[in-house]
Structure 1
C-alpha cells in the first residue's frame, strides 16, 4: 500500500520567516508563535497563510475487548464499557467535554460509531454509516480485527477526511471515545517502538496502582502473543489495535495527502498516527501535536514523530478536547503574520 504525500511549501515557509523577522518586534521575540506561523504558511502554500475559520473535529468511537472486566487480566478502566455508547449520545446532545470546548472556538464536532459494542439504533444514520464491527477483540488473547477489517477501517477514515475537506475544513482534529483506549494506544506504541509494557502504561481513566498493574499485564500479554509475527502497519492494527485506531490513521493520512493541517489530540490519536507514519513517513509534516497527555505512551509517540505539544495542561480526557484548546494559538500565529506592522514602515 503506497501513498503520495506532498511536501509542505518550503518557499512559503522561508518567505514567512523573512517576513516575521521584519515585523515590529525584536527578531524571534514571539518564539514558537513565529514557528507556527511559518508552519501554516508552508502547509497552505501561501504567505500569509489563510485564516483557520473552519475547524472540524471527528470523534471515532469504538469499544475494545480488553476492557471487559471478566477478561483474564480484569478491569483496565475505571469505567464500564457501556459508557462508550452512552457518550455517543452525549456528543450528539452537544454536552460532552469536546463539544463544549469546541463551541468556544467555533469548531464543529462530528461523532462516528466505528466499533461501538452497545446498541445505538436510535442515533442518526450518518453516525453509524462507517461502522466496521461491534467492538474489537481483546488484544491480550486474540486479534483486535478480522482479516480485511483494518483496510476497511483505514478506508473509512480516509473517506471521512475527504468529506470534511470537501466541505471546506481548514484544520482537522481527530477525537476518540472508547473505554480501553489508553490500553490499546499503549500497546500500539510499545509494538512499534519496541518498548516494554511497564514503560508505556499510565493510569488512563484514573485507575489506581492495582488497575495500572492489570493494564501492564494485559499489554505485556498482547505483545507476547504477537512477538513472533511479521509486522507491518495494517497487521499491527489487526493484531493489537482496533477499528477506530485504523480509522483515525486513515483520517490523518488522507489529510496529509490533501495538504490539510491536522492537530493531533491525546494518546489515542498519537498512537494511531505513529502506526500511520509507518505507512507514510512524510505524513507527520502535516501534523501538529495539540497538547501533552499525562499518558507516558504519548510522549514516546510524539518523540518518534518529531512533534512538540503546543499545550501542557495535564489533560487526559481524549475526545479531541486538548487539541481544540490549541486552536486559538494557531489562530494567533496566523493573525501575527497577517496583521502586524513592519519595522520598515515605522516613521
Structure 2
C-alpha cells in the first residue's frame, strides 16, 4: 500500500453556487455584461473562494522566501551571493520594493531564510528555517537530496499554517536568491519538456556573452538532470532551490486550506508549475498577477493555462508584481460589492 504524501492531498473545493450567484449579480449591475473584463472574473472567483456573494480581502499576507544557489559558481549571475542576505536586511528595514508595496497596499510581510550561503542567523525580523547553506552546484550534481526537497516543501506549508491561524485570506509568495532565475529556468524546462535555452533570461542583468554562457551552463545542467528525472519532485531535487520548493509547498498548502494565492512573476510561476505538477487540484486556487519581462514567463503561463492581470514589463521578483496587483483585486471587489443594480438605480436594462 502506497502512503500518500501531504502535498498530494486534494485542495479545498470551490463553491460553485457562490460563483453562479456572483455572476448573476454581476449581470444585474449598471453596465453591459462583461464590460469590466477580468475585473468581473476576479470578483466572481473571489466569491467562489470565500463562499459568499460579497467577498472582501481583509488579511492578505506576503511571505518572501530566500535561499542561495550553488550554480552561481559557474558565473550565471551579475551579482555576488552576498546580495541575498543584504537584501534580507533591506526587506526587514523597509527599503525593498515589496516592503514599500506592503505599506502602500496594506498587507503583512514576512521574510523566511530557507538557506542562505552567508550566515544570517542573528538577523532580527527574519524567520530562520534553513535547509542548508544554499544548494549544491546543479551543473555538477543534484541541487539537493530528496530529504532536503521535502524539507523545503514543508517550510512553505508551515508558513501557510501559521498564516491560517491569523485569518489570512489572500497569500502572496515572494522570493530572493542570487541565481534563482537559473534554477527556475531549469526546473521549468524539465517540467514543460522544453529546451531551457528558450526560457533563459537576463535575471539580475546578465547580457551579451555572459548571457550566452549562462545559457550554455543551463543547457548542460538540464541534460545532466534529464537522466535522473522520473517524477515532478525530481525537478526540484536535481535543479531547484530551497525557496522555490518552499513556495511550491506554500501554494499547495494554501489551496488545501482554501486560501487563494496571487502568483508573482517568473520564479514564483516556476514554483506554481511545480505545485500543479505535484498536485493538479491546486491550480483552481491560483490567480496570476503579471506577465514578467523574463522571456521564459510566457511559456510558464501557457503551461499553467494562466492569463496575468497586468503586464508592466516588471522582472524584479520579491512578490512585487503581486504586490501591485493586489490593489486591482481590491478594486474589482469594490465594484462588485458597491455598484448599483439596474433596479436599485432605476436604470433601464438591455431588455427594457
**TM-score, normalised by the number of residues in structure 2:** 0.94
| Equivalence for 1:24 | 30
Partner of 2:252: 253
Report 1:265-304 matches (<5 A).
265-304=264-303
CA contact under 8 A between 2:62 and 2:108: conserved in structure 1?
Answer: yes
1:296 deviation in Å? 2.0
SS at match of 1:315: coil
Q: What does residue 112 of structure 1 align with?
A: 112
The correspondence for 2:49, drawn from 43, 48, 73, is 43
SS at match of 2:57: coil
Pairs within 5 Å for 1:152-167: 152-167=151-166
Task: Give how far 1:345 is off.
Answer: 2.2
2:51 counterpart of 1:52:
no
C-alpha distance in 2, partners of 1:32/1:97? 26
Structure 1 counterpart of 2:71: 66
Segment drifting more, 316-325 vs 297-306: 297-306
Deviation at 1:310, TM superposition (A): 0.8
Compute the TM-score of the two structures, normalised by the length of structure 1: 0.95
For 1:129-168, what aligned pairs fall within 5 Å after superposition?
130-168=129-167
Residue 10 of structure 2 aligns to a residue whose secondary structure is: coil
Q: How many residues align?
A: 340
RMSD, aligned α-carbons: 1.2
CA shift in 2, pair 1:117/1:221, >3 Å: same
Equivalent in the alignment of 2:349: none
Secondary structure at the residue paired with 1:46? coil
Runs of 4+ in 1 over 4 A off after TM superposition: none
With over 3 angstroms needed to count, the CA separation of the structure-2 counterparts of 1:126 and 1:209, relative to structure 1, is closer
Contact 2:113 2:126 in 1 (8 A): no
Between the aligned partners of 1:126 and 1:97, the Cα distance in structure 2 is: 17
* Corresponding residue of 2:243: 244
Flag structure 1 segments of 5+ consecutive residues without an equivalent: none
Residue number in structure 1 paired with 2:350: none
Q: Does the 8 A contact of 2:101 with 2:324 survive in 1?
A: yes
Q: Distance in 2 between matches of 1:46 and 1:306?
A: 26
Distance 2:121 2:335 in 1: 47
State the secondary structure of the residue aligned to 1:311: coil
> Any conservation in 2 of the 1:185–1:267 contact (CA below 8 Å)?
yes
Distance 2:146 2:258 in 1: 31
**Contact 1:7–1:282 (CA under 8 A) maintained in structure 2:** no
Q: Secondary structure at the match of 2:334?
A: helix
Looking at structure 1, the residues matched to 44 and 196 of structure 2 have their Cα atoms a distance apart, in angstroms, of 38
